């Protein structure tokens, strides 16, 4: 899923560049007026569905009721298809009203809104199918469907925008918007293929046949908080767009300066944070059914073990990203964006990587236990604190955009801390401080190595790109060596890791050989 997430991000970035060049600012503006409406309805109708269905199915599978899990899925799928049809119709019939009431400011965006209506239905069905496979703790079908969905969407967007360009920008933007339809439909077909292949033998009779209405209520109870939490992310971004530039102007910056600073924060620093947490996003997805299984079996020891492993793994992923990005903020800013001006925001926001990764996995554990309301409430509380800090700190001339960046860090940190409080309340889990200290020490040494390599390479070549890439590669190699050497990961844990586990085992072997020779 991490690999799929990276491919989806890369394809989306390439698509955004090509579409912007082809449609220009006006055409992209029409597309962007319609697409957030689709994202909002998709989040409401389907964002929490995979989590909810995977929890229900994993709970039944944990007690050996495979047929009951299949029955629960079929009932939930029918309910979700009805919800998808309702929200598709809602988008279709409200498109004219949104334009007529000037909520959508340009009437030409009407065609893009209408073009997106089938995608809402397919997205809901697609989310339901992903929840089915995640309930079996099978992530490959979801990963493959994500890749196929994105590739078809990108190809269809570019092709249809090109074909309809001669009819005007309104139709070209509508063609680009319609690309979401074959994308979601293609992803759904992939999952149907996996579903067809999965079982050839009929399961035994269900131990307890699920009832439609209680199951629908259970799904809604689980899915609604997750959906609301997903909606909060774009809402917080919208609030930032309203607060940050205005408060920068209050601090004495001109309109153009405030706009540029806001771009450094949200358009340059924040995307790096979101890219770094792709692995923990995938980890969180896989955690939900695993936790649900242990919770259904009332296996407290297994539940604490899963939570402990998830917290350590999330730290092992995010802490080196945090340290590395902090010490290489300016070289990375120059390498990716061609300007050093985003370095301050990148350096501060690097800390958000660790806290956001921890927030994701702790929220996943709570969701797997059926406590989905807790992380949503924690996100709301931390978002309110963030808004207050952004309002006050950004207007201080000594802070400026740094105040907004620190407010974002506090937002993620507070949300993660509150999740840990709830986990302690429900399970007695405490964050593994000793293990994390080793990871922080290894990441600190890695960062020192990366900085020294950068300075040496830049001194030798005066080429920032070469020096930055050399430092990143050297830091990654150093961290890979330090993980087993400093006891951040055990041999058994390394054996369970895909790809990297093979190399970690080799490092363990070299370490053991060196120690044996030293003793001799």
Distances (CA, A) of 344 to 333, 347, 353, 399, 404: 9, 5, 15, 11, 11
**Do residues 248 and 329 both lie within one domain?**
yes
In a domain? residue 424: yes
Determine how many CB atoms are found less than 10 A away from the CB of residue 502.
11
In a domain? residue 217: no
Mean pLDDT by 10-residue block, N- to C-terminus, for the chain (520 residues)?
A: 78 73 74 77 72 76 76 79 88 88 80 91 88 82 90 92 89 91 93 78 52 70 73 71 85 86 84 88 84 82 88 92 95 88 93 95 89 88 93 92 94 95 91 92 95 94 92 92 81 69 73 64
In a domain? residue 215: no
Determine how many CB atoms are found less than 10 A away from the CB of residue 355.
24
Residues near 285 by Cβ (< 8 Å), separated by ≥ 6?
1, 50, 134, 139, 142, 364
**Predicted TM-score (pTM) of this structure:** 0.77
**Do residues 154 and 237 both lie within one domain?**
no
Residue 79 contacts residue 64 (beta carbons within 8 Å): no
∠177-219-313 over CA atoms, to 5°?
80
**Do residues 65 and 187 both lie within one domain?**
yes
Choose one of 377, 395, 429: the last residue of a domain. Answer: 429
- Structure-token pair, residue 198: 């999965």
CA distance 80 to 125: 7
**Do residues 193 and 256 both lie within one domain?**
no
Instruction: Identify the sign of the CA torsion 192, 5, 338, 253.
Output: positive
**Do residues 309 and 376 both lie within one domain?**
yes
In a domain? residue 218: no
**Do residues 353 and 482 both lie within one domain?**
no
**Do residues 181 and 37 both lie within one domain?**
yes
**Do residues 173 and 198 both lie within one domain?**
yes
Q: What is the pLDDT of residue 517?
A: 62
DSSP string spanning 137-201? Answer: T--HHHHHHHHHHHHHHHHHHHHHHHHHGGG-HHHHHHHHHHTHHHHHHHHHHHHHHHHHHH-SS
**Do residues 247 and 329 both lie within one domain?**
yes
Mean pLDDT, the chain, integer: 84
For the chain, what percentages of helix, strand and coil (3-state, to nearest 5) are there? 85, 0, 15
In a domain? residue 449: yes
Burial of 415 (0-12, 13-18, 19+ CB in 10 A): buried
DSSP tag of 498: S
Q: Is 101 helix (H, G, I), strand (E, B) or coil?
A: coil
Pick from 233, 255, 234: nearest CA to 244: 255
Instruction: Identify the sign of the CA torsion 11, 238, 90, 29.
Output: negative
**Do residues 419 and 454 both lie within one domain?**
no
In a domain? residue 220: no
Q: Which domain holds residue 232?
A: 227-429
CA distance 135 to 128: 11
Residues near 336 by Cβ (< 8 Å), separated by ≥ 6?
268, 272
Choose one of 429, 449, 473: the last residue of a domain. Answer: 429
Pick from 291, 340, 280: nearest CA to 313: 280
- Structure-token pair, residue 449: 């190595």
- Structure-token pair, residue 436: 């994390």
In a domain? residue 126: yes
In a domain? residue 219: no
**Do residues 438 and 409 both lie within one domain?**
no
Count the domains in the chain: 3
Determine how many CB atoms are found less than 10 A away from the CB of residue 250.
14
Residue 369 zone, left/alpha/beta (φ > 0; ψ -120 to 50; rest)? alpha
Choose one of 405, 429, 453: the last residue of a domain. Answer: 429
**Do residues 195 and 293 both lie within one domain?**
no
């Amino acid at each position: 899923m991490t690999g799929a997430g990276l491919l989806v991000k890369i394809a989306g970035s390439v698509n955004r560049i090509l579409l912007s060049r082809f449609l220009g600012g006006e055409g992209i503006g029409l597309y962007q007026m319609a697409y957030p409406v689709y994202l909002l309805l998709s989040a409401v109708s389907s964002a929490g569905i995979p989590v909810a269905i995977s929890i229900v199915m994993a709970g039944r599978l944990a007690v050996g009721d495979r047929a009951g899990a299949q029955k629960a899925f079929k009932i939930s799928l029918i309910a979700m298809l009805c919800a998808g049809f309702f929200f598709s119709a809602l988008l279709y019939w409200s498109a004219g009203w949104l334009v007529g009431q000037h909520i959508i400011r340009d009437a030409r965006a009407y065609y893009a809104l209408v073009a997106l209506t089938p995608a809402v239905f397919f997205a809901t069905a697609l989310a339901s199918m992903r929840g089915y496979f995640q309930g079996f703790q099978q992530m490959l079908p979801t990963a493959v469907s994500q890749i196929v969905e994105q590739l078809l969407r990108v190809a269809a967007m570019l092709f249809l925008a090109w074909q309809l360009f001669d009819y005007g920008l309104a139709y070209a933007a509508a063609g680009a918007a319609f690309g979401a339809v074959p994308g979601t439909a293609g992803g759904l077909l992939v999952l149907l293929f996996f579903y067809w292949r999965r079982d050839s033998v009929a399961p035994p009779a269900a131990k307890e046949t699920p009832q439609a209405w209680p199951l629908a209520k259970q799904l809604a109870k689980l899915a609604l908080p997750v959906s609301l939490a997903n909606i909060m992310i774009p809402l917080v971004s919208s609030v930032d767009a309203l607060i940050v530039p205005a408060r920068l102007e209050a601090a004495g910056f001109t309109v153009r300066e405030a706009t540029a600073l806001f771009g450094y924060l949200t358009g340059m620093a924040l995307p790096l944070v979101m890219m770094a947490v792709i692995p923990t996003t995938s980890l969180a997805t896989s955690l939900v059914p695993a936790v649900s299984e242990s919770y259904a079996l009332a296996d407290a020891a297994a539940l604490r073990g899963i939570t402990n492993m998830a917290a350590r793994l999330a730290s092992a992923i995010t802490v080196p990203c945090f340290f590395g990005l902090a010490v290489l903020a300016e070289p990375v800013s120059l390498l990716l964006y061609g300007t050093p001006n985003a370095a301050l925001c990148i350096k501060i926001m690097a800390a958000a990587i660790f806290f956001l990764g921890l927030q994701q996995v702790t929220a996943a554990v709570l969701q797997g236990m059926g406590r989905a309301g807790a992380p949503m409430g924690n996100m709301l509380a931390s978002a309110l604190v963030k808004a207050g800090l952004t309002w006050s700190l950004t207007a201080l001339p000594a802070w400026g955009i740094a105040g907004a960046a620190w407010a974002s860090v506090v937002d993620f940190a507070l949300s993660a801390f509150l999740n840990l409080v709830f986990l302690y309340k429900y399970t007695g889990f405490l964050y593994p401080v000793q293990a994390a200290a080793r990871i922080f020490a290894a990441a600190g040494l890695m960062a020192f190595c990366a900085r020294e390599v950068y300075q040496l390479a830049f001194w030798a070549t005066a080429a920032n790109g070469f020096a930055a890439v050399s430092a990143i590669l050297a830091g990654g190699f150093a961290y890979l060596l330090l993980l087993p050497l400093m006891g951040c990961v055990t041999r058994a844990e390394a054996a369970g890791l895909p790809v990297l586990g093979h190399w970690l085992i080799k490092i363990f072997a070299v370490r053991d050989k060196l120690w044996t020779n030293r003793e001799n």
